[in-house]
């Protein structure tokens, strides 16, 4: 069997870790900080666990220069969890930009006797129902999962599969169809 130093790992993830990091982690799993219990055996509600999380947040904030006005969250989810997080971020950006456009159009137009806030809210809801569309290029299993998550969260009326590589490859993923064949959503009159 080869030694760790003889192995070069090119897997997609998780990545290979340096041996000293693994040795430190292994020691902590058996007896963390001389407590007599391994790290995984301590309660996640304990002071010890809280201190680990707080120290990790502080180190991350320092390393990445994250301002104090931001909160660092540790969330489980992996790649699949990122599908919904990405979608929520894009959609919220689209909605805010559309809200600002609607607000400006209401401010510019003279609408006596109309409650601007109520009108803006109604116009925004209408815009979401009629204009919000996300396009997906389904080229493999991960983009398929991402499009399925978008459909689950937004509803099928807001998700457009612009291309699905399986249609050009006998039901399997393979070559990505030519861009000229993609059926992208038509952008509404206002640009985003």
Q: Could you tell me the pTM of the whole model?
A: 0.65
pLDDT at 183 > cutoff 60: yes
DSSP state of 67: -
Between the CA atoms of 137, 141, 147 and 149, what dihedral angle is there, to the nearest 10 degrees?
Answer: -160
Q: pLDDT tens digit string along 80-103?
A: 889 999 999 999 999 999 999 998
Where do the domains of the chain lie? 18-74, 78-181
Q: To the nearest whole number, what is the mean pLDDT of the chain?
A: 89
- 53-86 tens-digit pLDDT: 999 999 999 999 999 999 998 888 888 889 999 9
Task: State the Cα–Cα distance between residues 47 and 27, nearest whole angstrom.
Answer: 20
- Give the separation between CA 54 and CA 42, rounded to whole angstroms: 16
């Amino acid at each position: 069997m080869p030694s760790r130093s003889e192995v070069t790992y090119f897997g997609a993830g998780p990545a290979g870790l340096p041996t000293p990091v693994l040795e430190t982690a292994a020691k902590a799993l058996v007896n963390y900080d001389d407590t007599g219990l391994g790290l995984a055996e301590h309660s996640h509600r304990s002071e010890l666990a809280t201190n680990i999380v707080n120290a990790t947040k502080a180190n991350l904030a320092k390393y990445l220069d994250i301002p104090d006005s931001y909160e660092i969250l540790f969330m489980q989810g992996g790649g699949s969890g990122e599908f919904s997080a990405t979608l929520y971020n894009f959609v919220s950006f689209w909605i805010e930009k559309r809200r600002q456009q609607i607000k400006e159009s209401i401010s510019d137009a003279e609408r006596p006797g109309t409650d601007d806030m109520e009108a803006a809210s109604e116009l925004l809801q209408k815009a979401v129902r009629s204009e919000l569309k996300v396009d997906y290029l389904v080229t493999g299993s991960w983009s398929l999962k991402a499009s399925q998550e978008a459909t689950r969260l937004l509803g099928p009326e807001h998700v457009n599969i612009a291309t699905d590589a399986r249609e050009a490859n006998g039901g399997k993923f393979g070559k990505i169809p030519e861009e000229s064949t993609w059926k992208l959503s038509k952008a509404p009159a206002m640009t985003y």
